[in-house]
Amino acid sequence: MTSATSATSTTSTDPARTGRPVPSDELLVEVDRLSINFPVGRSGFWGQHQQWVHAVDDVSFGIRRGETLGLVGESGSGKTTIGRAILRRIEPSSGWIRFRGQYITDTKGEELRRLRQYMQLVFQDPYASLNPRMTVLQLVAEPLVVHGRAKSIDAARGDVVKLLGRCGLPEDAADRHPHAFSGGQRQRIGIARALALRPAFIVADEPVSALDVSVRAQVVNLLQDLQHELGLTYLFIAHDLSVVRHISHRIAILYAGKLVELADSDSVYESPRHPYTEALLSSVPIPDPPLQRARRRIVLQGEIPNPIHPPPGCRFQTRCPLAQDRCRHEAPPLEEKAPGHWAACFFR
Ligand SMILES: Nc1ncnc2c1ncn2[C@@H]1O[C@H](COP(=O)(O)OP(=O)(O)O)[C@@H](O)[C@H]1O
Ligand code: SF4
Ligand SMILES: [Mg+2]
């Protein structure tokens, strides 16, 4: 990979990535031509060919301060990989990430440890992500002690109890273990833990997918309230379009590692410009029964392509109802189809 300094000429304030040209200091996060390949064994009689999973391919976008960007795509499309790359938990194969105007792709050691305080992850599975042997106090106070913000777990108690209350947990939550709580409450503990260090940016990786439908809206509302109160910026990851509209200012649609559409939420829902987005939308239930009946349901045939051998041309060509010859040879660029509305399709 080239060095961070040589990349200063790239214009990551490109309106393609932000909906409109914005000064760089309005952007908290900039992702610039990010690609991530994972090595996965070898092929050939002598094992001479290294095989790669092409998980993320040439993806660029920006997230404004205080914004929620929804990142949506089927399972395996590269959402978690992008989120973790921004948090510097996965190394990019190429491309750049800037946080608060600073290139962080090469940040290491103590500087990386400091940086991590400002960027946190809310996990998908609140059952697996909390150590069952720790009390809630220990879980939430641990990052404070690790980063030297509290002398001990007990010294952090006052702040932790306040934060737990703010996240909608009962007063006595601090001294109990995660198994004593429901899924929704565990996710609230996960959110409190992520907020303990007062980060500026949160990657919420499918934070409600594992929860009962009945508690999803409460957790989404909590995230939204916390955003307003604390000025947080979110990358909110979801595998379908049913939960993201409510919380996202803009939505990015990912298909097989490629960004295929990016626009403000209303535009994505009301006038999608990519056939894949249309298919995703057609499976979101509409509360109005006549509208629901009138709507054309697009059922995608086949599976998301094998990321070791993605198809040539447009990655969606193997499932696209509109595919033509050109799509099989040429990859459509992400283009501005309407002001602030970007999509990668030749024919829309
Ligand atoms: N550490 C890894 N090694 C090999 N392949 C990986 C690794 N992590 C993710 N992948 C693959 O990369 C692709 C994208 O994965 P992921 O980002 O987890 O997708 P999503 O979050 O959209 O479900 C998938 O094909 C997945 O199997
Ligand atoms: S470029 Fe072709 S295959 Fe790709 S989404 Fe558009 S019509 Fe479908
Ligand atoms: Mg994922």
Residue nearest to atom 12 of ligand 1 (CA): 55
What pLDDT score does 295 carry? 67
Question: Is the C-beta atom of 207 inside 6 A of ligand 1?
Answer: no
| 76 CA to centre of ligand 3 in angstroms | 7
Surrounding ion ligand 3 within 5 Å at CB are 80
Q: How many CA atoms lie within 13 A of 299 on its CB side?
A: 1
SS (H, E, C) 275-302: HHHHHHHHCCCCCCHHHHHHCCCCCCCC
Query: Per residue in 12-45, pLDDT tens?
Result: 445 445 544 455 668 999 999 999 999 998 777 7
The amino acid occupying position 175 is D
Query: Per residue in 296-338, pLDDT tens?
Result: 677 787 888 999 999 999 999 999 999 999 999 999 999 999 9
- Please tell me the total number of residues recorded for the chain in this structure: 348
State percent of the chain over pLDDT 90: 78
Is-above-0.85 flag for pTM?
yes
| 60 CA to centre of ligand 2 in angstroms | 20
| 150 CA to centre of ligand 2 in angstroms | 54
In this prediction, residues 152-167 reach a mean pLDDT of: 97
Distance (Å, whole) CA 201 – CA 87: 9
Bridge partners (DSSP) listed for residue 90: none
Q: DSSP string of 93-159? A: SEEEEEETTEE-TT--HHHHHHHHTTEEEE-S-TTTSS-TTS-HHHHHHHHHHHTTSSSSTGGGHHH
With a CB cutoff of 8 Å and minimum separation 6, the contacts of 46 are none
What pLDDT score does 301 carry? 79
With beta carbons less than 8 A apart as the criterion, state whether 153 and 186 touch.
no
Question: Is the C-beta atom of 79 inside 6 A of ligand 1?
Answer: yes
